[in-house]
Amino acid sequence: MGDRLKDKVALVSGAGSSGPGWGNGKATAVLFAREGAKVLAADINRDAALETKRMIMLAQAIHRFFDEQGFLGQYADHHRL
């Protein structure tokens, strides 16, 4: 999780994906959230937008878990250029 978009708000239209895989809207919403933005994910298909929300929340929970365990700092210490 980065902080390039910390304290920013993003409205992403088409944030659900109607087909299999990742569409541009879903990928944008998840990436912006990873970079610290508060994301409003909008889509004509409510279930698809909720799936994107679930993915963002799961990624944030996983990141918090590893951060609390100190794993992220250990990884960064061993992988510096």
- Token digits of residue 62: 């996983």
| Residue 47 Cα distances to 26, 42, 51, angstroms | 13, 11, 6
**Residue-level pLDDT, tens digit, the chain, 81 residues:** 678 999 999 999 999 987 788 889 999 999 999 898 999 999 999 999 999 999 999 888 887 777 776 665 555 555 554
pLDDT for 1 equals: 64
What's the Cα-to-Cα distance from 41 to each of 9, 56, 60, 74, 79, rounded to whole Å?
11, 10, 16, 33, 33
| pTM for this prediction | 0.75
At 11 the pLDDT is 95
Q: How far is CA 20 from the centre of its chain?
A: 18
